[in-house]
């Protein structure tokens, strides 16, 4: 059993605190992704788990054992670095076997396990090459191979795919997922790419400025973002976020946008009249009539000229004006749309997100 | 690099070649003259007008140094050679050990006063060695280090350690910290990570640092001539002075000994030349 738990973990560099008391429970064999914008403390947190950074305050436990004072080698973890950190003076075979050699395994055992890992990752053709003679994708594989060879309790990944081109990144993402299904281990994976987070994670931890903003399954954070930050961070294209003031129309609470449009609020939000709120809706929830996921009922119809149309094949992203801002909508199974064309859009009210403007917190129950 | 990128016209190429030729002549001729002189009889060397093309070549000068001629007593070259070797090797090895640790510390650790300390080391290199000879002489005389090998070893350490630190700092800086961290996660202690990963990668740099340190000590004359008196500590370069008498200088003998001094340095340089070049260019990219 190798669950990882962080209890009020703090990191300070000198007087500056960069991680502010993080609590996190990673279950045995769970794939947890830390995601957040650059500089939010993802790497720092991961490196504290690895033992590469001192823990300023709080506790980190791996498999129920407090590891605060243990050096990296005693934590039975593996880490894949963004730079891959392959040993330049060792062949692929030596790179893979290095950890086992340090652990004084027998040559036959090393060979067996290295060959096994090479087989899983398709590294056989390059075993005697030096890292400098490998492509980026091959280096990435070697780095992963080096991590799995030692059969660790916990895998740590720090942006392992960010040095690959988009296509290769997609392929490796799938491979990592396959690898996790095959080699069941606890994984903590750091990325700033929300697509990677959504596709790989059992649970996502969204961080900002050294705080955890939300922890949840991909559908949790996508469908029920806890605050404006998470709402804007997860999803691509991002959620549309419009300032509004709560008013009452026909006895029902509405959010009055800056341009005077009233958006009926869902019944389960607790608001008071005059409250400043942020209304959020995903591009999927804003589409021309007949090209949307949602039906006509419980939706708000409006006619808008299209500012820009971005055809992507199976869908077209449409830009229109609402609430004094440019918003993005998604047209499914699209026909050709020209900029300047006027369309009737419908806004899915069932999937509306409502946040308090002052605190940023979600107001949906 | 730029020469291969820009197309040069033939006359430009010839101009460059001519420039290189002139530079090489300026560099090589004095050395070649010394070598030539070492194989010529003193009469021919001192002839006026000068004899440019040697009429006869001889090994007498070398025989003279080793006392193989009956006409003059030999010099204690073997003792000088041993002194030179002991002093140079010891100061190189110790400077490398200290310098490597220091360079590693500067490259990897953050500590108070790091910048100032580093600057201090570099500034110490700006003081010309000769300027130190008088104070050194006085201090060494007080504590009894005049005319000892230890005395010279300490002096050369003081010269070589800052330079070695500077050089190795540059090399370790080029090795990503990730590698040592990866090794530690792979099960190494910090110490093992250093020897297994960082040291092998810095080896070219350390080799060049070693050559620089060795050659500095091997060739040093100004300070050694002040601080050594007898065969107890005299090094080969100081031994050259044995050829100057009150009224005349035995240029032939001096040149012969100079050739003997150059040979080990040349051999050493050739042996590690490949590493040296790799080291120099590697270190040269340092920001
Ligand atoms: N050695 C250090 N000294 C001082 N501050 C540091 C140090 N290392 C990191 N920081 C700060 O800690 C914060 C978190 O850094 P961290 O590397 O964890 O960010 P990150 O979330 O991994 O970002 P990225 O996506 O860019 O890798 C940053 O504000 C950074 O400036
Ligand atoms: Mg990072």
pLDDT digits (tens, 9 = 90+) for A301-337: 999 999 999 999 999 999 999 999 999 999 999 999 9
Query: Taking CB atoms and an 8 Å cutoff, what residues of chain B touch A89?
Result: 197, 200-201
C-alpha B215/C-alpha B266 separation (Å) is: 10
Q: Is B82 an interface residue toward A (CB < 8 Å)?
A: no
**What b/e string do you get for A251-286 counting C-beta neighbours within 10 Å, with b at 16 or more?**
eebbbbbeeebbbbbbeebebeeebebbbbbbbbbb
C-alpha B137/C-alpha B141 separation (Å) is: 6
CB pair distance less than 8 Å for B186 and A89: no
Q: Is B184 an interface residue toward A (CB < 8 Å)?
A: yes
Q: Min CA distance, B284 vs chain A (Å)?
A: 19
Of all residues in chain A, the one with the smallest CA distance to B193 is A102
Q: Look at residue B128 in the predicted model and tell me its pLDDT.
A: 83
Q: Mutating which of A46, A72, A89 best tests the B interface, going by the most B Cβ atoms within 10 A?
A: A72
C-alpha A117/C-alpha A179 separation (Å) is: 11
Q: What is the pTM of this model?
A: 0.83
CB pair distance less than 8 Å for A73 and B200: no
Q: How far is the CA of B102 from the centre of ligand 2 (A)?
A: 29
CA nearest neighbour of A359 among A217, A261, A229: A229
Please name the member of A77, A83, A87 whose beta carbon is closest to the beta carbon of B185.
A77
Q: Is B204 an interface residue toward A (CB < 8 Å)?
A: no
CB pair distance less than 8 Å for A85 and B201: no
The protein residue whose alpha carbon is closest to atom 3 in ligand 1 is A13
Q: Look at residue B122 in the predicted model and tell me its pLDDT.
A: 87
CB < 8 Å from A in window 163-182 of B:
176, 178-179, 181-182
Q: Look at residue B285 in the predicted model and tell me its pLDDT.
A: 34
C-alpha B7/C-alpha B111 separation (Å) is: 50
Question: Kind and range of the H or E element at A321?
Answer: strand A315-322
Q: How far is the CA of B104 from the centre of ligand 2 (A)?
A: 25
Q: Between A and B, how many residue pairs show a Cβ–Cβ distance under 8 A?
A: 58
Q: Look at residue B70 in the predicted model and tell me its pLDDT.
A: 67
Confidence class for position A15, pLDDT limits 50, 70, 90: very high
C-alpha A360/C-alpha A228 separation (Å) is: 5
* All domains in chain B, ordered by first residue: 3-65 (no CATH), 77-282 (1.10.3720.10)
Contact A246, A275 (CB under 8 A): yes
Query: Taking CB atoms and an 8 Å cutoff, what residues of chain B touch A52?
Result: 181, 184-185
Q: Look at residue B275 in the predicted model and tell me its pLDDT.
A: 65
Per the structure block, which two tokens stand in for A76? 């039975």
Q: Look at residue B2 in the predicted model and tell me its pLDDT.
A: 46
By the CB criterion, residues less than 5 angstroms from ion ligand 2 are: A 43
Neighbours of A314 (CB within 10 A): 8
Which residue matches tokens 């859009």?
A345
The protein residue whose alpha carbon is closest to atom 12 in ligand 1 is A18
CA nearest neighbour of A147 among B176, B190, B187: B187
C-alpha A206/C-alpha A208 separation (Å) is: 7
Q: How large is the average pLDDT for residues A17-35?
A: 96
Cis before A237 (ω within 30): yes
Q: Mutating which of B177, B185, B282 best tests the A interface, going by the most A Cβ atoms within 10 A?
A: B185
Please name the member of B178, B185, B190 whose beta carbon is closest to the beta carbon of A78.
B185
Contact A337, A316 (CB under 8 A): yes
Which residue matches tokens 């980190």?
A60
Ligand 1, pocket residues at CB < 6 Å: A 13, 18, 36, 38-44, 192
CB pair distance less than 8 Å for B186 and A146: yes
Q: Look at residue A75 in the predicted model and tell me its pLDDT.
A: 94
**Structure confidence by residue, pLDDT tens digits, A103-146:** 999 999 999 999 999 998 999 999 999 999 999 999 999 999 99
CB pair distance less than 8 Å for A50 and B185: yes
Provide the 3-class DSSP secondary structure of residue A94. Answer: helix
**Structure confidence by residue, pLDDT tens digits, A67-98:** 999 999 999 999 999 999 999 999 999 999 99
**Structure confidence by residue, pLDDT tens digits, B92-136:** 999 999 999 999 999 999 889 999 999 998 888 888 878 888 999
- Of A30-34, A241-245, A265-269, B43-47, minimum mean pLDDT range: B43-47
Q: Look at residue B58 in the predicted model and tell me its pLDDT.
A: 85
C-alpha B97/C-alpha B85 separation (Å) is: 18
* All domains in chain A, ordered by first residue: 4-233 (3.40.50.300), 240-356 (2.40.50.140)
Contact B193, B184 (CB under 8 A): yes
C-alpha B181/C-alpha A87 separation (Å) is: 11
Please name the member of A50, A51, A88 whose beta carbon is closest to the beta carbon of B201.
A88
CA nearest neighbour of A104 among A128, A73, A75, A78: A73
Q: Look at residue B283 in the predicted model and tell me its pLDDT.
A: 41
SS (H, E, C) chain B: CHHHHCCCCHHHHHHHHHHHHHHHHHHHHHHHHHHHHHCCCHHHHHCCCCCCCCCCCCCHHHHHHCCCCCCCCCCCHHHHHHHHHHHHHHHHHHHHHHHHHHHHHHHHCCCCCHHHHHHHHHHHCCCCHHHHHHHHHHHHHHHCCCCCHHHHHHHHHHHHHHHHHHHHHHHHHHCCHHHHHHHHHCCCCHHHHHHHHHHHHHHHHHHHHHHHHHHHHHHCCHHHHHHCCCCCCCCHHHHHHHHECCCCECHHHHHHHHHHHHHHHHHHHHHCHHHHHHHHHHHHCCC
**Structure confidence by residue, pLDDT tens digits, A170-229:** 999 999 999 899 888 999 999 999 999 999 999 999 999 999 999 999 999 999 999 999
Neighbours of A63 (CB within 10 A): 16
Which residue matches tokens 């091997």?
B218
Cis before B49 (ω within 30): yes
SS (H, E, C) A14-73: CCEEEEEEEEEEECCCCEEEEECCCCCCHHHHHHHHHCCCCCCEEEEEECCEECCCCCHH
Q: Min CA distance, B199 vs chain A (Å)?
A: 11
User: Is A294 a residue whose pLDDT tops 90?
Assistant: no
Please name the member of B181, B196, B200 whose beta carbon is closest to the beta carbon of A52.
B181
C-alpha A182/C-alpha B65 separation (Å) is: 78
Which residue matches tokens 């020897």?
B195
C-alpha A71/C-alpha B232 separation (Å) is: 51
User: Is A365 a residue whose pLDDT tops 80?
Assistant: no
CA nearest neighbour of A353 among A236, A271, A287: A271
Distances (CA, A) of B91 to B12, B82, B95, B127: 46, 14, 6, 20
CB pair distance less than 8 Å for B176 and A83: yes
Residues (pLDDT < 70) of chain B are: 1-7, 70-72, 275-287
Q: How far is the CA of A193 from the centre of ligand 1 (A)?
A: 17
Please enumerate in sequence order all residues whose Cβ is within 8 A of that of A126, keeping only pairs 6 or more positions apart, or say none: A92, A134, A138, A142
Average pLDDT, chain A: 94
Provide the 3-class DSSP secondary structure of residue A349. Answer: coil
Q: Which residues of A touch B (CB under 8 A)?
A: 50-52, 71-73, 77-79, 81, 83, 85, 87-89, 98-99, 102-103, 146, 150
What are residue A60's DSSP bridge partners? A6
Provide the 3-class DSSP secondary structure of residue A242. Answer: strand
């Amino acid at each position: 059993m190798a669950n990882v738990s962080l209890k009020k973990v703090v990191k300070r560099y000198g007087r500056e605190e960069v991680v502010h008391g993080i609590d996190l429970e990673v279950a045995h064999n769970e794939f947890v992704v830390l995601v957040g914008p650059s500089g939010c403390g993802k790497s720092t947190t991961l490196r504290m788990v690895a033992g590469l950074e001192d823990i300023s305050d709080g506790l980190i436990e791996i498999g129920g054992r407090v590891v605060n004072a243990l050096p990296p080698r005693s934590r039975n973890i593996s880490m894949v670095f963004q730079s891959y950190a392959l040993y330049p003076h060792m062949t692929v075979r030596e790179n893979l076997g290095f950890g086992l050699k340090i652990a004084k395994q027998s040559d036959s055992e090393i060979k067996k396990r290295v060959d096994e890992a090479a087989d899983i990752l398709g590294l056989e053709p390059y075993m005697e090459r030096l890292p400098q003679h490998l492509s980026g994708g091959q280096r990435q594989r070697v780095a992963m191979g080096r991590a799995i060879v030692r059969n660790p309790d916990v895998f740590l990944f720090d942006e392992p795919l960010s040095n690959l081109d988009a296509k290769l990144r997609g392929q490796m993402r799938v491979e990592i997922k396959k690898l996790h299904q095959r080699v069941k281990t606890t994984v903590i994976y750091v990325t700033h790419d929300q697509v990677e987070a959504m596709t790989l994670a059992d649970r996502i931890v969204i961080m900002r400025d050294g705080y955890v903003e939300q922890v949840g399954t991909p559908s949790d954070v996508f469908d029920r973002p806890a605050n404006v930050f998470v709402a804007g961070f997860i999803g691509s294209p991002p959620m549309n976020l419009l300032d509004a003031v709560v008013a009452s129309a026909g006895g029902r609470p509405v959010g009055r946008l800056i341009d005077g449009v009233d958006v009926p609020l869902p019944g389960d939000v607790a608001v008071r009249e005059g409250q400043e709120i942020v209304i959020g809706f995903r591009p999927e929830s804003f589409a021309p009539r007949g090209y949307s996921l949602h039906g006509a009922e419980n939706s708000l119809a409006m006619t808008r000229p299209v500012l820009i149309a971005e055809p992507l094949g199976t869908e077209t992203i449409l830009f229109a004006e609402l609430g004094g801002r440019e918003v993005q909508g998604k047209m499914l199974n699209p026909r050709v749309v020209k900029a300047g064309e006027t369309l009737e859009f419908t806004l899915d009210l069932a999937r509306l997100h409502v946040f308090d403007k002052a605190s940023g917190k979600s107001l949906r129950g | 690099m730029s020469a291969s990128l820009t197309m040069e016209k033939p006359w430009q190429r010839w101009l460059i070649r001519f420039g290189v030729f002139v530079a090489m002549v300026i560099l090589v001729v004095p050395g070649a003259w010394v070598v030539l002189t070492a194989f010529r009889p003193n009469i021919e060397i001192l002839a006026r007008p000068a004899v440019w093309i040697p009429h006869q070549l001889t090994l007498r000068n070398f025989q003279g140094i080793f006392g193989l001629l009956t006409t003059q007593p030999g010099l204690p070259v073997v003792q000088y050679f041993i002194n030179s070797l002991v002093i140079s090797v010891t100061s190189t090895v110790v400077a490398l050990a200290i310098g490597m640790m220091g360079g590693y510390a500067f490259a990897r650790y953050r500590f108070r006063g790091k910048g100032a300390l580093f600057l201090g080391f570099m500034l110490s290199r700006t003081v010309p060695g000769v300027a130190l000879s008088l104070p050194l002489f006085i201090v060494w005389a007080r504590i009894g280090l005049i005319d000892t090998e230890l005395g010279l070893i300490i002096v050369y350490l003081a010269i070589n350690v800052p330079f070695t630190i500077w050089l190795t700092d540059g090399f370790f800086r080029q090795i990503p910290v990730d590698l040592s961290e990866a090794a530690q996660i792979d099960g190494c202690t910090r110490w093992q990570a250093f020897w297994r990963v960082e040291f092998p990668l810095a080896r070219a740099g350390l080799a060049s640092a070693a050559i620089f340190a060795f050659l500095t000590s091997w060739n040093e004359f100004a300070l050694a001539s002040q601080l050594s008196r007898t065969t107890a500590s005299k090094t080969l370069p100081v031994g050259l002075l044995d050829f100057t008498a009150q009224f005349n200088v035995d240029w032939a003998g001096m040149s012969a000994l100079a050739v003997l001094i150059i040979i080990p340095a040349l051999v050493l340089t050739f042996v590690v030349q490949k590493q040296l070049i790799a080291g120099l260019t590697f270190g040269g990219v340092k920001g």
